[in-house]
Each structure stands twice: as structure tokens, then as C-alpha cells.
Amino acid sequence: MNNHITIFDTTLRDGEQSPGYSMNKQEKLRLALQLERLGVDVIEAGFPIASDGDYETVKEIGKTIKKSSVAALCRTRVEDLERAVSAVQHAAKPRIHTFIATSDIHLKYKLQQSREQVLESAVKAVEYAKSYYDDVEFSAEDASRSDPRFLIDIFSAVIDAGATTINVPDTVGYALPWEYADLIKTLNENIPNIDKAVISVHCHNDLGLAVANSLMAVQNGARQIECTVNGIGERAGNASLEEVAMSIETRKNNMGYTTSINTKEIFPSSQMLAEITGKGVQPNKAIVGDNAFAHEAGIHQHGVLKNPLTYEIMTPESVGLTCNKIVIGKHSGRFALCKKLEELGYHLNKEDLNQVYQKVTRLADEKKVVEDRDLIKIMAAADFSIQSQNQSFAAGG
């Protein structure tokens, strides 16, 4: 089986649907160009039926993007399909992504349709999309809470109708990793024509398991992961693109998968999204948070300064940062403080370093983090600073 994982980015569609993350046409176009630089295989540009603005934005992105596929989302309704087909008509690599719910709870309360009606609607939608474009994806909304037997039936039917990708969403983030793995394995082994389509997964993070579920799905036959920059999306968000990509990259010797992601564009992409939306990234966010490569504890600082591999499993440079960050606080040790002071031009002997260390720790108790300007003020007020530097330089330090 092919071990290349297609990265389907839905930042501009599912991501934008999260409260406070809406973007205008120019902002979406700017981010789409960055996603192309990032190397995503598919950009889901929007939901054309939602508004005239979304339709025009999807159309403009389709005209502009050349390397990535551009997908338009639509329900299985005729008016949705017509709008989506029109929106990507100028795309170099157009994709229609159509969906309908398949769980009994959605059928009963939302659609008020039978399984037979849903299956018929799905097949007709795929056939319609296929009559315009070769690349057609079908999603079974709320698949993780659907009857696997019905999923086998509907996926088999839409593949026969021309679907080239079948998506198995954990729409409400309900699945546990081993449950989701078993579902993907069951589908992979029991859909008779599965060799004609790619299995895709779209996991939400309501239980904080979106990335774990996505990776477990890959281990059991999925070859497309749908995700977003910074993990944004409905409710608690989607599987985080940066976490998926760096998990695959960092543990490639264990998992043996590849992506087309240019990992050095991960941090710039994250920062662009934060700047466009005005929504910062939580400090402890994996890969792209302010603290992802920051170290305050003295033991950690000492180890990282000696050899980064002691406490960093990937380099800051690999995701587009220039270096890690040594944070001076109450947990910092003398070794890290000495290195920080040397960066600022101060070379102290052991006795003077101890005096500065005491002052720094007292200040850290008051203001949490001691910044460079605080250290400069401490050194400016110290009688020994000039003498200590001169002695250090005279000794070749």
C-alpha cells in the first residue's frame, strides 16, 4: 500500500466556521497561497452555497492556486452541487466534496430520511459531480456514530458511482483511538471496491483525540488526513496540521509515512493565520506555541544548551523558527543565566554570577519572567559589572 499521506487542509472552510475566525476574500486568498507554499495537497476553499462572498472566494482561489487541488464543499442537494461545480470551474485541479449524514441520530432528527433515501441521494450527488470532474470526494457525516454495515453499503455505492475519495469523519470528536482504528480497518477490509478509492479521515478534537485518531486511522489503511492550521475548527477544533505533519516527520522511522508538507513553512503559516484572524495561539500549543521550544527549568536549560536533543525531539529550524528560547525565571539555573548574560555581552566570574543570580531569582518571584531589559538594568546597577567584564576579556573569556 502507498505510504504517502495526502494532507487535505480545511482551514478556509471548517476552520473559518469556528466563532471569531471568519475571513474575507483577500485574507482567504493570502492564506491559500501560504497553504500552497506549505505544500498541502488539497485546499478546501469554502462552502460556495453559503453566501455569494464564499462562492466568489472559492472561485478566486481556484483561479489562483496551481499546485494544490482546490475543493468546494457541498451537500448532496442539486443547488449545492451546481454552485460547487461552478465555483471551481477555473481551478487547475478541481475537487468536489459532497456529504450527507449517515448516523441514525442525524437521519431521525436532522434529515428525517431513511437509509435508503440517504444512499440514493449520495449516489446521485457523486454521479452529478463526476459528470463534471474526475476528483470527487464523498463524506459520511457523523460516520463514527454510524452503523458500520450502512457505511460499507453507502461507500461501496458511491465508489461505484465515481467517488475517488471516501471520507470517514469523527464529526463530533466522539471516537476513541482504538474504536476509530477498528472502524477504518473494518471499512478497508469489507468495502469490495475500496481499491478504487482513498480512505480519508476528518477528526474533531472534542475529547482532545483528533490527531491520535487520525494517526490510528492511517495505521489501518487511511491515506488522507483532513486537518487545519493551529487546529482551528468547529467547537474544540480539528486535527492540527502541524501536529499531524511533525508526528509523521519526527517518527518516520517508526511509522514509515511521508507527506508533501514543507515543514519549514509551518510556523509562518501559523503566524499568518493568527495575524489574519487576530486569534493568538495558546502558549503550550504543540509545535507552534510560544513555549514549544522554550525552556525555563534549570535542568532542562543546562541539557539543551549542552545538546538540544536532551529535551527537544525536533529542531526549531525544522518548523520555520530560527532558534529555541531560553527563558529566565525562578526555575532557571546559573548555567542558563550565565549563557544569557554572555549573549548580552556580560562575562562574569563565579562570585559575581552568584550575586546576579540572587537578584534575578528575587525579581522572578515578583514578575514571573525576567526579560533581557531586566537583566541589563540589574547589570547597570551592579558595581562589579565593568570590572568583571574586563577581567573576563583579559583572561580570554
pLDDT digits (tens, 9 = 90+) for 162-174: 999 999 999 999 9
b (16+ CB within 10 A) / e for 54-76 = bbebbbbbbebbeebbbbbbbbb
The DSSP output letter for 240 is B
Pairing of the two strands 328-329 and 369-370: antiparallel
Q: Which helix (H) or strand (E) holds 182?
A: helix 177-190
What does pTM read for this prediction? 0.84
Lowest mean pLDDT among 221-230, 261-270, 387-396: 387-396
b (16+ CB within 10 A) / e for 248-271 = bbeeeeebebebebebebbbbbbb
Q: For the chain, how many structural domains are there in total?
A: 2
Closest CA to 56 of 66, 45, 68: 45
Q: Which pLDDT band holds residue 378 (cuts at 50, 70, 90)?
A: confident
Q: How far apart are CA 170 and CA 176, in angstroms?
A: 10
Q: Which helix (H) or strand (E) holds 96?
A: strand 94-101
Tally of CB atoms within 10 A around 173 = 23
What are the DSSP calls for 282-329, one per residue? PTT-TTTSTTTTEE-SHHHHHHHHH-GGGT-SS-GGGGT-S--EE-EE
Q: What is the mean pLDDT of residues 135-144?
A: 98
Domain region containing 53: 6-277
CATH number assigned to the domain comprising residue 100: 3.20.20.70
196/326: higher pLDDT: 196
Q: Are residues 260 and 131 in the same domain?
A: yes
Q: Are residues 320 and 218 in the same domain?
A: no
Q: Which of 242, 277, 312 is the last residue of a domain?
A: 277
* Residue 283 falls inside a structural domain: no
* Residue 200 falls inside a structural domain: yes
pLDDT digits (tens, 9 = 90+) for 247-274: 999 999 999 999 999 999 999 999 999 9
Q: How far apart are CA 169 and CA 141, in angstroms?
A: 6
Q: Which pLDDT band holds residue 160 (cuts at 50, 70, 90)?
A: very high
Q: How far apart are CA 281 and CA 287, in angstroms?
A: 11
Q: Which pLDDT band holds residue 321 (cuts at 50, 70, 90)?
A: confident
Q: What is the mean pLDDT of residues 177-193?
A: 98
